[in-house]
Amino acid sequence: MISGNTKTVDMIADSLFKRLKNNEFINRRLPSERQLREEYSTTRITLREALALLESRGEIYRELRRGWFIAPPRLVYNPLLRSHFHEMAARQGRQANTEVLSADKISATPLLAQQLQVGTGDTLFCIRRRRRIDGRAVLYVEHYLNPAFFPNLLQEDLTLSLTHLYEKLYNIRYGGVRFTVLPGPLPVFAAPALNVASGSPGICITRINQNQHQQVIDCDHEYWRYDALCINVET
């Protein structure tokens, strides 16, 4: 692909950056690419390189079929704190929302069987949820649970914190946890829930949780927009 002139790209990016910092754009949304091309008398390639430059800095983000938006501050995520998603957001002055996309019984794959210490083919609960911060979809997560610990859980309101439901209904509290954090492209099943194209950069977190008796009870597969999260660990 023919690249735009580097100087022109930088000038457009700097101009847009100043405009967004001056709160020029209504509802934190940039004008359409067509309008911006006309304003800057530039080509589609050059404009997109300027927008991509701002996106790489975390200043703006793109949603499929909706356009470009000013990026809000990243959510700070400390894996050592066992607070749930809504509590974590509230501490940072953010508004959280959870949608349940599906809640089913499935058969354990070899990978899930290994993670949950069950047999391949054993029945698991699978809860798929989309989570938003300030109205923006930032996280698609698949929760895999050993139903031996949580009978009838799928009948509950799964928009609520699972941490809260575990303790309230089953007297189960989290104990040990193992985290794996891997930057990489968002898979085809996760990207649509976050309004991005498949293969867009993301942060993939696998979290295997134990209860207070050191028994493995569930496993979370989290897929975050890369520009929505800051992992900060302090010991």
When pLDDT is cut at 50, 70 and 90, the band that residue 4 belongs to is: low
Stretch 177-183: mean pLDDT: 93
Q: Residue 65: its pLDDT value, please? A: 81
What pLDDT, in 10s, does the model give residues 113-131? 999 999 999 999 999 999 9
Q: How many helices and strands in the chain, by DSSP H and E? A: 6, 10
Is pLDDT above 90 for 212?
yes
Token pair for residue 184? 């990489």
Is pLDDT above 50 for 158?
yes
- Whether the CB-CB separation of 201 and 228 falls below 8 Å is answered with no
Mean of the per-residue pLDDT values of the chain? 92
Stretch 12-30: mean pLDDT: 90
Q: Residue 82: its pLDDT value, please? A: 74
What pLDDT, in 10s, does the model give residues 48-105? 999 989 988 888 888 888 899 998 889 998 887 777 899 999 999 999 999 999 999 9
Single-letter code of the amino acid located at 86 = H
In the chain the domains, ranked by start, together with CATH numbers, are 2-70 (1.10.10.10), 75-231 (3.40.1410.10)
- Whether the CB-CB separation of 100 and 125 falls below 8 Å is answered with no
- pTM for the full model? 0.84
